[in-house]
Amino acid sequence: MRSRKFRRVMSTATQAAMAFVVLFFADCAGQPPVGARLAGDWDYYRMLGAAPNGGFEARRRFGFAHFEGPSADGAWLRRRSGEPLESIAAVNLTGDTLVLSLGDDRTIRATVAGGTITGRIYRGDQAVDRVWLMRRTGVPAWEPNYPLWPGAVSEPAFEVKIDPAVPMKARDGTTIMNFVARPLGGGPFGVVLERTPYLRTDKANGEFWASRGYIYVKQDVRGRGGSGGVLDMNAMQEQDGYDAVEWAAALPGSNGKVGMIGRSNPGLYCWYAAIAQPPHLATIAPVVATADPLRLVPYIDMVFSPTIIPWLCLTGVKETLSDISNVDEVRAFNHLPVIESAELAGCPRPRFWDDWFDHQQEDDYWRALSIERRLNRVQVPVLGISGWYDDARGTIRNHVGLNALPRHPFQRVVMDPGAHKGIDYVNGDFGPQGRIDHRALQLRWFDHYLKGIKNGVDAEPPLDLFIMGDNTWRQEYEWPLARTVWTDFYLREGGVLDTVAPGSEAADEYRYDPGDPTPYLVDARELELNINEDYQAVHAQRKDLQTYTTAPLEKDTEITGPMTATLWAATDARDTDWNVMILDVYPDGRAMRIQDGVARARFRNGFDRPSLLKPGEICRYDIDLWFTALVIPAGHRIRVTVASAAFPKYDRNLNTGGDNERDTKYVAARQRIFHDAAHPSLVRLPVIPR
């Protein structure tokens, strides 16, 4: 069944946001000459897809544009860092119609209206992405990389030789293909290894590492690119990771020390290799590493996330990365049963797809693929890099788990303000320190652990945290911070959020209908699930959630650390979900999401012990709200929402107690949230004294 109401709500939120933007940037002074209308500096926004697809209009502020007038002379598109983004080969402005030729058979076709340019990127005659340009009143505010770890690092002193297809034999005889870049000259050299499902050819990284005296190896994981076998997101990664490290350590010119890197899934593969304990692995330095499969992909805290479907399309063709701009994700997400959704989106149905749905609780299948359960096997130093809005979640979780062991290797963590794909995907401006070069940190790390240079990287504080709001970096020695004041904010009668515990108060109620689920603002084609979007319109329009909001804060309040919720709730269904979100409410009404979490009722006693509910029974639910480092200014308010869906980040609980991924029938449920002396529902926040 498809949720038509879901589409309408998202469309209304989108229209409201677009109306605000148009009003804000409209030029009311009449129509200036054509050249003047185009000349000047502009903010450049982009979003995947030729058209909205039922999701939120999540515009990403990718950079800046500049025009001298209605010609290509002096025209450019640059990233926020100042680096070139696109080359503008030609500018054609006819009336209100603008065509920018970008080369490679790509154009931007747009309409100019006052201080706004709205259009699409075309590849030939095919529209692929949407763009917006908003006139600036000042010159671009460039965001160069902030030197978080200053000091000497290896310089590009070597010429480079590249071998694009070097085969390796895995232990089962499967051929695994590698891209290898070597420094020319004396050695031996440390090896930087990356294993990826995103194709091995990487000239830029090859030249970066090899020119600095490292052998760089980028490997197609089995089932991808030039490698044989069948792709599986998690299975075989330990075995292949072990074999890859030992093979790379034996390459001609190697010094026998291998360090692993990788972003996202390749970051997870670093952890799998570390657990396998190959003798020549010296260290790992993953970025935005994917968490355990029950904590992010395919399940988020044991709730399936259909947003994985665009990723399946991206990697569905063995030899290439597919264009997912126009994947019909909404049609797929709204379809029941969920198990048919990948094919409905036009994506190949991989072998592991059925495995996911055959194991809908924590069992031996998932335990065998878990990183967190086997962190005691990690014996090498770890540099983990991530961002507060990264949806991959593995960096902090693995750091905490490894640190809890009585004997563990040295590890450092760097948390910036970025999302999974970087700072350009996060709403807001984080100042001149917000953008850092992850590769520069890895270089300094490997200079020490692969080259043996004593640069002090192992003697500095283990945590580098970017404090959003202050927009500065701070070094810390433990997580959570020792000086944390754990502060309970209680859900109270009348939608109040307060640090005063409740007394005798009536429960709040709402109705959850799986046919019209509470929306989560995301367009999954962006492959981002954790952005700080504005939920003001959702809170105003939806009746299937409860909001609890503090009075305006009297002083700046820093929240740095892990956050949790304790919810006392009842339902008349056999199973249901509880979704809790924490938000920063601005004086102008914007409600910007900070983090959220979910509890599927059947797993209230553990992911390995599903138990259906007795209708009407009051139960306690402990919900992980992830973590942040954010200063909420005085005058802002903190809001907590409770709902029973955050769709499509989490699949819909059908409320029947049946198979949520294979069933097609659902029932609506009456939900009650309790907040009295015996059932104090709350969120616990890590407040840092200032």
Each residue of 111-122: pLDDT tens digit? 999 899 999 999
Whether the per-residue pLDDT at 310 is higher than 80: the answer is yes
Q: Which residue type does 328 have?
A: D
Q: What is the pLDDT of residues 629-639, one digit of tens each?
A: 999 999 999 99
Whether the per-residue pLDDT at 19 is higher than 50: the answer is no
Tokens of 519: 């929306």
Q: What is the pLDDT of residues 63-97, one digit of tens each?
A: 999 999 888 899 999 999 899 999 999 999 999 99
Report yes or no: 572 and 670 within 8 Å, Cβ to Cβ.
yes
The burial class, CB within 10 Å (0-12 / 13-18 / 19+), for 457 is buried
pLDDT band at 103 (very low <50, low <70, confident <90, very high): confident
In the chain the first and final C-alpha atoms are separated, in Å, by 51
**pLDDT value for 175:** 98
Q: What is the pLDDT of residues 37-53, one digit of tens each?
A: 889 999 999 988 888 77
Tally DSSP H helices, then E strands, for the chain.
13, 32
CATH 1.20.120.350 fits 485-688, yes or no: no
Whether the per-residue pLDDT at 270 is higher than 90: the answer is yes
Report yes or no: 67 and 40 within 8 Å, Cβ to Cβ.
yes
pLDDT band at 5 (very low <50, low <70, confident <90, very high): very low
Distance CA 496, CA 502 (A): 10
Q: What is the pLDDT of residues 154-186, one digit of tens each?
A: 999 999 999 999 999 999 999 999 999 999 988
Q: What is the pTM of this model?
A: 0.92
Distance CA 637, CA 145 (A): 32
pLDDT band at 226 (very low <50, low <70, confident <90, very high): very high
Q: How far is CA 244 from CA 164, 257, 560, 639, in A?
A: 16, 13, 38, 48
Residue found by looking up tokens 């970087």 in the block: 422
How many residues would you count in the chain? 690
Name the residue ranges covered by the structural domains of the chain: 4-135, 160-294+365-476, 303-360, 485-688
Residue found by looking up tokens 């962190």 in the block: 375
Report yes or no: 62 and 44 within 8 Å, Cβ to Cβ.
yes
| DSSP string across 350-395 | -HHHHHHHH--SS-HHHHTT-SGGGGGG--S-EEEEEEEE-S-BHH
Q: How far is CA 512 from CA 379, 522, 540, 600, 678, in A?
A: 47, 20, 16, 14, 25
Interior angle at CA 681, CA 684 and CA 564, nearest 5: 30
**pLDDT value for 11:** 39
Q: What is the pLDDT of residues 389-411, one digit of tens each?
A: 999 999 999 999 999 999 999 99
**Segment 629-658 mean pLDDT:** 97
Neighbours of 460 (CB within 10 A): 12
**pLDDT value for 32:** 63
Share of the chain above pLDDT 70, in %: 94
Whether the per-residue pLDDT at 562 is higher than 90: the answer is yes
**Segment 510-530 mean pLDDT:** 93
Report yes or no: 643 and 514 within 8 Å, Cβ to Cβ.
no
Distance CA 301, CA 136 (A): 43
**pLDDT value for 326:** 84
Tell me, which fold does domain 4-135 have in CATH? Lipocalin (2.40.128)
pLDDT band at 342 (very low <50, low <70, confident <90, very high): very high
Q: What is the pLDDT of residues 435-457, one digit of tens each?
A: 999 999 999 999 999 999 999 99
**pLDDT value for 55:** 67
**pLDDT value for 676:** 97
Share of the chain above pLDDT 90, in %: 85
Interior angle at CA 72, CA 71 and CA 76, nearest 5: 130
**pLDDT value for 14:** 39
Q: What is the pLDDT of residues 564-607, one digit of tens each?
A: 999 999 999 999 999 999 999 999 999 999 999 999 999 999 99
Report yes or no: 512 and 655 within 8 Å, Cβ to Cβ.
yes
**Segment 512-525 mean pLDDT:** 94
pLDDT band at 367 (very low <50, low <70, confident <90, very high): very high
Strands (E), 572-618: 577-585, 591-600
CATH ID of 160-294+365-476, from 3.40.50.1820, 3.40.50.10680, 3.60.15.10, 3.40.1160.10: 3.40.50.1820
pLDDT band at 18 (very low <50, low <70, confident <90, very high): very low
Residue found by looking up tokens 């409740």 in the block: 502
**pLDDT value for 31:** 56
Report yes or no: 282 and 409 within 8 Å, Cβ to Cβ.
no
**pLDDT value for 331:** 87
**pLDDT value for 17:** 39
